Homo-oligomer: A and B are copies of this chain.
Amino acid sequence: MLNIDARKTHGEAIRFPGAIAANVAAIFGRHLPAVPSRKIAAHSMIWREGEERRDVFVVRSGAVCFSKLLSDGRRVVTGFAYPGDIIGLGADRHTHDAEALHCCRLDAMPIAIFRRAAESDHEFARMAQDEVSAALLAAYDHLAVLSKMTAHERLAHFLVALSDRNRRLGHSPASVLLPMRRIDIADYLGLTIETVSRTFTHFKNGGLIVMDDPSVVFLADLQRLTALASCAGDCEPGRKLAA
């Protein structure tokens, strides 16, 4: 069984608004004030859409979910942030809600310090700008997922993306942790929780994954999952659901 605490050591998983790659955090560290980390209770909001942007944060532990609420109550999850990520970059006001999926530790850099740093440290400024471009690129990739992929492909894509991040960070790509609830995955992939759950079951029955705990997934057949994720046909994730 995997150590559940491992989820706290994971780096960036999925691109998300205003978050930047872990390797970039070091440059930010140069300007981080020496104040204790802020602690955020599980399921509390870190900020809400429309609020004034007050800090740029570095995620130290926990996980963050970014979402928007549509006028009719529908919810869109635009991404997740993991330890090592920097969140809160962007325009004057927050464009998303940010919710702590678990108890989070965040290092805060007041926006005034951030702006001063951007003026004095050109590497810092350029990096912040590059990260917005990267987020834009990631958003367009996600558009492709939402507009062209089936439920199976979407979930496979999600799992493989998490696995790829693990590999990049030197962790095992064979298993991924899901600190978010099914509803967050569903709203991220443009599906319903039922479809997400059924697709997990389908993958399980097809031998693609092993999952005893809903938040820990072992990717038993990464190759087939990858094929699904990249739309390379082969959309046959196993036998039918067992009765």
Contacts and interface: CB of A to CB of B under 8 A. Distances in A.
A71 B232 contact: yes
Contacts of A135: 136
A78 B143 contact: yes
Copies of this chain, count: 2
Contacts of A144: 68, 70, 74, 76
Counting chain B CB atoms within 10 Å of each CB, which of A72, A78, A140, A144 scores highest?
A: A140
A88 to B, nearest CB: 13
A231 B136 contact: no
A96 B190 CA distance: 23
Interface string A71-87: 11010101000000000
A190 B144 CA distance: 9
Interface in A93-120: 95-96
A135 B187 CA distance: 22
A230 interface: yes
A180 B144 CA distance: 19
A129 interface: yes
A181 interface: no
A153 to B, nearest CB: 10
B17 A140 contact: yes
Contacts of A133: 90-91, 132
A3 interface: no
Interface of A: 17, 68, 70-72, 74, 76, 78, 90-91, 95-96, 129-130, 132-133, 135-137, 139-140, 142-144, 146-148, 187, 189-190, 230-233
19 contacts: A17-B136, A17-B140, A70-B148, A70-B231, A71-B231, A71-B232, A72-B233, A76-B148, A78-B140, A90-B136, A91-B130, A95-B140, A129-B129, A132-B136, A135-B136, A139-B139, A139-B143, A146-B146, A147-B187
Given A70-B231, A146-B147, 6 more contacts: A17-B140, A71-B232, A91-B130, A91-B137, A95-B137, A146-B190
